[in-house]
Amino acid sequence: MLLSLPNWLIHISSSLEWGIAAFLMYRYGEMIGRKDLKRLGLFMIPHWIGSWFVLAYHVSGDDIPILLDLSETVNLLGSIALLYASIGILKTIESRNITNIMAISGMFLISGRPQSYMGEDVFDLILQISSVVYISFLVTLILIKKKDPHILSGLTIAGFWFVLIFISVTVFFMYLSTEVRGFPTLSHDDLLHGSAESLLTISNLMIVLGIHRQIKRVEKGNL
């Protein structure tokens, strides 16, 4: 296996945190009687499953690429599910705002579209589409916060957005590892790989703490 023990702990922690966040979101929705929030918690599960495919990929020594492909596919379904759940929370928002979401989604789709589909690996395309859908989900979170500032913690929303920092840093570190430091892949560069993954641990922790804060507010009767 390519990963060191500290790197394994970081990977496992980030996966467990997302699973805990999904559970807490469901519980929070149950506590305040909001089926849409319970649905959001349930629809976080595909991304959690995807993280375990990544762990399995690393267990194999990065020798079974199909596991990474499965992770990307499941994450696409997860991003679609998150977007669907967040739009469900926006049911009470004026239809013009829903239209704005679709327009923004289309804009990201056009700007993120590869120059040519010919010769492109299908899973690279899946990854791009998944990113577009996830960004659309993030936009809906901002609209939810504007419509109802109390339904979701700002820390939770910031955690979901912080995933973009993780992705950006990971891409940059992939370049450094392979083009500058001479490693075959980022997984072979334990320092940069662990550093990048630690950002996902931070983002997931932010999500967990934000939901936990909301639950405490409910228990104290402040929500």
3-state helix, strand, coil in the chain (%, to 5): 80, 0, 20
By residue range, what is the domain housing residue 11?
5-219
Count of CB atoms situated within 10 Å of the CB of 20: 17
Q: What is the CATH number of the domain that holds 76?
A: 1.20.1070
Query: Quick check: 223 and 162 in contact, CB under 8 A?
Result: no
Per-residue pLDDT at 194 = 95
The tokens for 72 are 């990307």
Per-residue pLDDT at 80 = 95
Q: How many domains does the chain have?
A: 1
pLDDT, one tens digit for every residue, the chain (223 residues): 678 999 999 999 999 999 999 999 999 999 999 999 999 999 999 999 999 999 999 999 889 989 988 998 999 999 999 999 999 998 865 544 555 555 444 444 433 333 333 334 676 778 788 888 999 999 999 999 999 999 999 999 999 999 999 999 999 999 999 999 999 999 999 999 999 999 999 999 999 999 999 999 999 987 6
Query: Quick check: 185 and 177 in contact, CB under 8 A?
Result: yes
Per-residue pLDDT at 124 = 72
pTM, entire model: 0.86
| Single-letter code of the amino acid located at 103 | A
Cα–Cα distances in angstroms (integers) from residue 168 to residues 38, 56, 140, in the given order:
30, 23, 21
Per-residue pLDDT at 92 = 60
Q: How far is CA 98 from the centre of its chain?
A: 22
Q: d(Cα 206, Cα 119) in Å, to the nearest integer?
A: 39
Per-residue pLDDT at 93 = 56
∠ CA(65), CA(68), CA(69), 5° rounding?
Answer: 90
Per-residue pLDDT at 19 = 97
Per-residue pLDDT at 40 = 97
